[in-house]
Amino acid sequence: MDFVERIDQLLKEKNLKRSALCEAVGIDSTSISVWKKRGTIPSGDVCLKIAEYLGADVEYLITGRQKKEPEKVQVKTDNSFILQTLSALQNDIDKTFQTAIGALKK
């Protein structure tokens, strides 16, 4: 499937007409037929406008490949580890503070 076929497929799925797409994007009504005949695609800004109008991804329109959704990474939070770390940090701060107070008293 090529660029124009993907456009036509999306138009059909969304029950839209080429003429409405052309008007919305601001291109001549013959442009899509010309791209099909020549086997070309429009400039990047036109591709982006078409993709936005169709609610599609530009990469899909141009290459036919869907973008892979990034895998969601689940992070397990071990609250006991966090509490132990905070407690150790607080102890270090207390010791440093006590050392500083002791040095000032001398």
In the block, tokens 């040095």 appear at 103
| pLDDT tens digits for range 49-96 | 999 999 999 999 999 888 766 667 666 666 777 778 888 888 888 888
Every domain of the chain and the residues it spans: 3-63, 76-106
Element (H, E) at 66: none
- The whole-number average pLDDT for the span 12-25 is 94
Q: What DSSP designation does 29 have?
A: T
Q: d(Cα 100, Cα 26) in Å, to the nearest integer?
A: 72
Output the pTM of the full model: 0.62
Is domain 3-63 annotated with CATH 1.20.140.10?
Answer: no
